[in-house]
Structure 1
Amino acid sequence: MRIVVLVSILFSLSAMGDSADERIRAAIFDNNIPRLRTLLNGVNLAERGSVYMHEAVFFRRSNAIRVLVEKGASLEATDSAGRTPLMDAVEGPDVDLATVRVLVEAGADVNAVGAEGDVLSRATKSGSAALIRYLMDHGAVIRAPECTGGMNPIMSASGGGNLAFLQRAVLDVRRFINNRGTRNQTALMMAAKEGKYSTYQFLLQQGADWNLTDEEGNSLLMMAIDGGDIRIVRDLLAKGMNVNHLSNHRNNALSRAIWKNNPAIIKLLMEKGADASIPTGPFNKLPIVDAMGPFGRRAFDELVKHLNQDQLWQGLEAVTTGVFRERHNWDELVKRIEATPARRNRIMAEAGGFGDLNTIKKLKAQGVDLDATDGRTGETALMKAMRRDQNQIGQYLLQNGATFDPRNAEGDNALLVAAASGNAAGARMLVRAGMNVDVHDMNGNTPLIRAVIKGDRQTVQALLQVGATANSPGRAGRTALYHALANKQVNVARVLLEACAPLTEIDSGNTQPETLANGGYRREESAALLRLIQQRRNNPRCH
């Protein structure tokens, strides 16, 4: 918090941009009281005193504080975060009681309320018994949180684990034990979400209600999971708290444990009846899908141990279709799934994309066809291997009986998939294995045209090297060169023109290549393409 205050002070001063302010600030920091008195003469502290006062408090310059008060600086002026100087002085683990005394003796309000509680609420965070005693001896009182900006000393001490204060103020604890503060939370919730087990136990003994929810519908169990103390989690489950309670945002205890990447709590929740089939969050994701997210691998590894076959299969569906295509997740799911024949086909196909040779061999030994499709996109293991640059898998499949014939739901075979995916080495391998290099897709485009449309120079070059026909027409009679010129792909066009791609009949309308090259607003690319076309026309090797 002191760092935040300092940043606020420096920002405020720098924003003024006045050398007089810099001199005053330096005098406060140096504790040069005579110079400070001189510099403050004629300064309107009603406007700027708050900045100087907060800086004097931060650097614990008691004499500077006295001078500022003497010169008219307000003791109750707040900073950009709504804090008075006394609030700054009492907060933190290294509170300077002498600074607090100066402010209080000068008349600072010990019961001032800010945006995040009153003075005493902030003081209880530090755990300083002497500070709290001093404030209460000078009039600070414990009030309900609704009277103190949503945070009273009981709640603050509970979140900070200041058990000594709570024990001394036990009558006030009982008085305000279930009062609601910020976000409609209670003292017990503060203790649970900060993982303060001893404080949690004490509050329960004083009558705290463990079956309340906050304004977002979060249960105490969910907050305890955020706090990470498994003893609190275990105690709440033993009390019978609903492990599958959903908050207003459709989160529950299991989703919170996954987000916290806490395998021990996940294990406990699953043993106590957490339902892994309940979708959570704004996108209604299953827990196994949540566990594939950016929260960490430990949550996923624990959760899969407790899932039934249908839930494991839902995980496999997610890992093959979602954004979190981690091989680790695939391996953990596949080894636990007891697949039906239809599911074995799906696994065979998907294994190609994950480069999982062991699973492919295992399924082949069980009689699963290497050309089995995934039942969703119509792709085979070979197609998925080409899409993911898994060329060693592709080589194994070709050597062990995978065929060239299958096409997916879009009408593409493995070579078309490789070309469209930018897998130059895979495309070369397939052609050398015997696949027709000029095969057409449903739109009449060849692998070469697909590679040109993608703008993949390396794949274009690889296909030409293994015999692709440069002027083979595709949709609307457009050749590969047509697409390269129309899309202003200079590097791709260079490869085609250096391979002597024909300049005539590049589409069904007999469009001239220079016309295509000149079109549009990309003048530099157009000029480069025109030069390449002229070089092609002048190349004797191409005649």
Structure 2
Amino acid sequence: MYEPRLPGFIISNVDLRGCVTTTVKKFINGRTPEAVQQRLDGIFSQIIGYDDVYEDLYRVIKAQGFEKRSLAENVLLWLSYTQSPLLLTDMQHILDTQPSGDPGRKLELDADQVVSACAGLVTANEETGVIRFIHETTRAYFTKRKLQLFPTGEDKIAKMCLGWAEETFTSDDVSTLPTRTRCEHISVHDYAIHNWGCHINRSNIDGTEPVIRFLDNDKVMLKYSPHIISSNDYPEYSQLPLSQMTKLHVASFFGLTRTIKALLQKLDPWYHIIGSFLPWTSHPIDTRDGFGRTPLSFAAEKGHSSIVCMLLGHGAQVDRQDHNGRTPLMWASRGGHNETVETLLENGVHINLRDRAGRTALSWAAANGHHKVMGQLSAHGAILSISAGSYDWILTPLTQLFQEKVRQDVIDETMSGSPLIRASCNDHLAVVEMLVSAGTSPDQKDEDGRTALSWAAANGHRSMVKFLLASHADPDTIDCNGQTALSWAIRNGHIAIVEMLLCKGSSMKIEDNAGMMAPVWAAFNGQKAILQLLLKYHADLRSRDKNGMSALLWASANGHRATSAWLLSREEDPSLPDSDCDGRTALSWAAGTGDYVMVKFLLDTVGDPLLKKSDNTRRNALGWAAANGHPKVIQLLISQDRYDLLSNQDMNDMTALSWACVNGHEAAAKEILASDRSATILECRDNAGRTPLMLATRSGHRNLVQLLLRNSADVEARDSFGDTALSSSAADGSAAIVKVLLRHGANPNSCLRDGWTPLMFAVRGRHHDVVRMIMHFGGDINATDDTGQTCLILAVKNEDRKMVELLLDMGADVEVWDKSGATPISLAMGLGKRGRLVLSALELKDPFYSSDDDDD
């Protein structure tokens, strides 16, 4: 990567800057940017003596004064050993903490200083502060010769990283890890926290006192262990509050051989003696982390065979399974660590144990393409077929019976335990060839009924498919969803594999569980080329699934215009609308999904027959567009309308406007109301007598209510039950909509069914805000219904003390009685203990009532 600006030492030298500019202009004259970049890369790669150039520049660096030389060497050392960019602020911190530096003096770095000190071998961006090698050849030179140029570099990096990690995790003020204690130096500390162990592994300080002290610190381990695990590599750990890793786990993870040896020597020897006689006792060497993994599990996963030998020599259990049921052998097989696998096999592992997904060590090796490990496992008796007999199918569930269940690791494409299927899924042809030649059936199925051919076809592995077909795999094997290898290949658009399967006689007439055949799947995903290929093999393009959806309908519904156009060109009479079991046409589906381009294409191609067609519920394309809120499609359909589609009512008497209002699509309603025919549909009622305003009100769409009222919707219209928009909103407690309706002239005292008022509905629903709103607009608090009930009586019957107090404060009459002669107080007294709170509120407002009357 090249910097977009010249370094300061070139800019400040007028002659040098002019020379560079002239040379570059000559070089790029008449060339494209791509040609310039290609020429630059070619020049660098063709310089035979660039090693000599870099050596000369490094000698220049070594000849500089102490400060510049120290700066350059630290920059080059870090970039050579870490392969990680460096920030200017981090370099400043490194220099300030150098043992040989002057603690009383701090050098303020800038980009030009770094570039100049390094003799132009690095580039430093002033804006981002990132320092990196000037070119790939520079990086390659210093990486290759880092031991020669910086023989103690690994030790220096390891010590720095260990110090920063210890500083971070021993601090009491670390709220957001991984960062340095409340400081701006994030990059190098973040790098150190995650990579200190890797550098110690390659250094000479492994097993030294500082490393042991760091790992022996319980406070450090408690804070650090959650950060050793990456959620990308170990997704199962993301659900754990703490990883609970110990010093042995961490040292095994990083492969710190000498450190492990020292830690094991510190263990109480009695643990080993007791463990040999009482194997069920807990040995520190087999301590589990939060996911049930032991130090041996991590050492095996990383391929640290010497540590594996040491742990086993100190009594570590070789078959200890984690919460996913995986053993150290499975982890080693997954990583392809031959030496580690051999060590575990020599220590009496149960080779055919399965994890919770039914996968063996051989399955893991096959899934990751490690055929050499598979050979080792096979030589020690590993079963090649998941269905083969083995007593381990009894042992595995028993060992997992007492383990805590944690969610499955779903990194792999398939959870199948079959080595053949997992290898085919991941395109490991050599492994599959090995398994088939050893006698494994190519038609072996996983838990979902899928075969190796099904997975290979779905994932587009052509060589794998070719081999399996040559091995007589059945191309028409049906999985649990009724799908074949052909349908999977079609679904995922692998046309070459589709042709291979068709050449082998794969059937196009097999229906899956949804009734979809090959042409329908091709149209579903817009695979026009595959449809054309299927037609060459005489596929039925008019086949339908169980819902009556044809290839054309699916292509239109999913917006595949080119596929739809090709299918329409195959129709004998495109003017005859195709429809599914519900009567929906291609236009209906396209309008419902809001595909403007597809709708326009269908109107231009087919036109009127589609426009006037309604489905089995008598809803047309305009109704579907309105119901799903697609204003542009609505505008297009209205512009083409010659059949008064806006007035069309479906089987529930819902118009397009009604659907827009009930579903809250304001933009769609605006388009409809902008039509010159909107006045005729504004008061159209559904089969319950509800107008669009009532539907918008009941659904709680305030903006739509305002829009309809601005367009002169009847605010006092009543539905079949005698309710108004206001009474419905009051009953639902929609204070905002109640306010809008009242401001637009809704009658707060309208007499509704059974003589109720909107205020009564609000009281019954315990909606205090709505009650206040209606009273503010003149609601009659003492109005009575057909039985003589007032709002106060309703509140007493509801045992709603707060509502009673609110009504009394607003002037409700305490002495009123209904037609049965009951008063609020008598009703409260009749409630017994449940009415005491209500009664106490009422007696404060009744001057003639005394609690002494209760004694009489």
Task: Give the aligned partner of residue 42 of structure 1.
Answer: 274
Task: Tell me the equivalent position of 1:380.
Answer: 691
Query: Is the aligned partner of 1:413 residue 2:724?
Result: yes
Please state if 1:231 is matched with 2:528: no
Unaligned runs of 5+ in 1: 15-21, 258-262, 281-286, 290-298, 539-543
Shift of 1:42: 0.7
Provide, for residues 432-459 of structure 1, a one-character-per-residue CA deviation record: whole Å limited to 9, x for no partner: 5444332233343211111112222222
1:99/1:489 Cα in 2 relative to 1: closer, same or farther (>3 Å)? Answer: farther
Task: Report which stretch shifted further, 336-345 or 1-10.
Answer: 1-10
Q: Which residue of 1 aligns with 2:446?
A: 181
Q: 1:123 aligns with which of 352, 361, 365?
A: 365
More moved, 487-496 vs 438-447: 487-496
Give the aligned partner of residue 547 of structure 2: 278
> Could you tell me which residue of structure 2 aligns to residue 349 of structure 1?
658
Q: TM-score if structure 2 supplies the norm length?
A: 0.48
Deviations 1:67-99 (A, max 9, x none): 5655666645655544443123212xx454432
TM-aligned CA deviation for residue 403 of structure 1 = 3.0
Counterparts of 1:128 and 1:537 in 2: how far apart (Å)? 91
* Residue in 1 that maps onto 2:773: 462
Instruction: After superposition, give the CA deviation of every residue in 1:309-337 in whole Å (9 maximum; x if it has no partner).
Output: 7788879799999xxx9986454775676
Once the two structures are overlaid, the 10-residue window that deviates more, 331-340 or 131-140, is 331-340
For residue 453 of structure 1, what is the aligned residue in structure 2? Answer: 764
Partner SS state of residue 755, structure 2? coil
Distance 1:350 1:452 in 2: 30
Residue 210 in structure 1 maps to residue 475 in structure 2: yes
Q: 1:360 aligns with which of 672, 682, 686?
A: 672
Per-residue deviation, 1:172 = 4.8
Q: Give the CA deviation at 1:199.
A: 3.9
Matched letter for residue 780 of structure 2: T
Cα drift, residue 268 of structure 1: 4.0
CA distance in 1, matches of 2:500, 2:691: 47
Deviates more, 1:148-157 or 1:337-346: 337-346
1:89 pairs with 2:337: no
Compare 5-14 and 194-203 and name the one that shifted more.
5-14
The question of 1:56 aligning with 2:303 is answered no
Structure-2 change in CA distance of 1:153 and 1:358 (3 Å): same
Q: 1:445 to 1:278 in 2, by over 3 A?
A: same
How many residues align structurally?
498
Give how far 1:361 is off: 1.7
Assess if the C-alpha contact under 8 Å between 1:145 and 1:151 holds in 2: no
Alignment TM-score, normalising by the size of structure 1: 0.71
The 8 Å contact of residues 715 and 725 in structure 2, kept in 1 or not, is answered as yes
In 2, Cα distance between the equivalents of 1:86 and 1:9?
24
Secondary structure at the aligned position of 1:440 is classed as coil
Question: 1:391, 1:468 → 2: CA distance?
Answer: 22
Give yes or no for contact 2:619–2:649 (8 Å, CA) kept in 1. no
Q: Determine which of 779, 783, 790 is the counterpart of 1:479.
A: 790
* Structure 1 segment 46-445 matched on structure 2, within 5 A: 55-60=294-299, 62=305, 65-66=308-309, 69=312, 75-76=318-319, 78-91=321-334, 94-112=335-353, 116-136=358-378, 140=382, 142-143=384-385, 145-147=387-389, 151-167=417-433, 171-172=437-438, 175-192=440-457, 199-200=464-465, 202-204=467-469, 206-220=471-485, 229-231=492-494, 235=498, 239=502, 245-247=511-513, 266-268=525-527, 275=544, 278=547, 300=593, 305=598, 329=629, 331=631, 334=634, 339=645, 341-343=647-649, 346-353=655-662, 354=664, 355=666, 356-365=668-677, 368-374=680-686, 376-391=687-702, 393-398=704-709, 400-404=711-715, 406-431=717-742, 433-445=744-756
* Residue-by-residue CA offset, 1:383-407 (whole Å, 9 max, x unaligned): 1232244455445544544335643
* Kept in 2: contact 1:78–1:84 (CA 8 A): yes
Q: RMSD of aligned C-alpha atoms? A: 5.2
Deviates more, 1:329-338 or 1:439-448: 329-338
**Partner secondary structure for residue 161 of structure 1:** coil
**Which of the pair has more CA radius of gyration?**
2
C-alpha separation between the residues in 2 aligned to 1:501 and 1:243? 76
Contact 2:727 2:761 in 1 (8 A): yes
Q: What secondary structure does 1:42 align onto?
A: helix
Moved more, 70-79 or 351-360: 70-79
Please point out which of 496, 499, 517 is paired with 2:807: 496
Q: For 2:298, give the aligned amino acid.
A: F
Helix, strand or coil at the partner of 1:117: coil
Provide closer, same or farther for how the CA distance between residues 212 and 391 of structure 1 changes in structure 2, counting only shifts above 3 A.
Answer: same
* Deviation, structure 1 residue 124: 1.4
Deviations 1:466-518 (A, max 9, x none): 22211222364322222223324344334322220111335433434345557
Whole-angstrom distance in 2 between the partners of 1:521 and 1:198 = 84
Is the contact made by 1:382 and 1:397 (CA closer than 8 Å) also made in structure 2?
yes
C-alpha displacement at 1:422, in angstroms?
Answer: 2.7
1:496 counterpart letter in structure 2: L
Instruction: Say whether the 8 Å CA contact 2:329–2:361 is kept in structure 1.
Output: yes
Q: Is the CA contact 1:230–1:265 (under 8 Å) kept in the aligned structure 2?
A: no
Question: Per the alignment, do residues 205 and 492 of structure 1 end up closer, same or farther by CA in structure 2, a change over 3 Å counting?
Answer: farther
| Residue equivalent to 1:33 | 264
**Contact 1:2–1:58 under 8 Å retained in 2:** no
The CA distance in 2 between the partners of 1:351 and 1:8, in whole Å, is 43
Change (3 A) 1:209 1:428: same
Cα distance between partner residues in 1 of 2:547 and 2:845 = 64
Q: Which amino acid aligns with 2:677?
A: A
Secondary structure of 2:331's aligned partner: helix
Amino acid at match of 2:473: A
Q: Deviations over 1:94-142 (max 9, x none)?
A: 4544322210232335455555133211111223354335444655563
Deviates more, 1:98-107 or 1:483-492: 483-492
| Larger displacement relative to structure 2 (137-146 or 433-442) | 137-146
The amino acid of 1:352's aligned partner reads C
Give 2:385's aligned amino acid. R
Alpha carbons 2:658, 2:691 under 8 Å: kept: yes
Higher relative contact order (CA 8 A, sep 6+): 1
Q: Using the alignment, how far apart are the partners of 1:167 and 1:399 within structure 2? A: 74
SS of residue paired to 1:379: coil
Post-superposition CA distance 1:149-181 (Å, at most 9, x none): 7733211101223234335556358x5211223
CA distance in 1 between partners of 2:630 and 2:327 (Å): 56
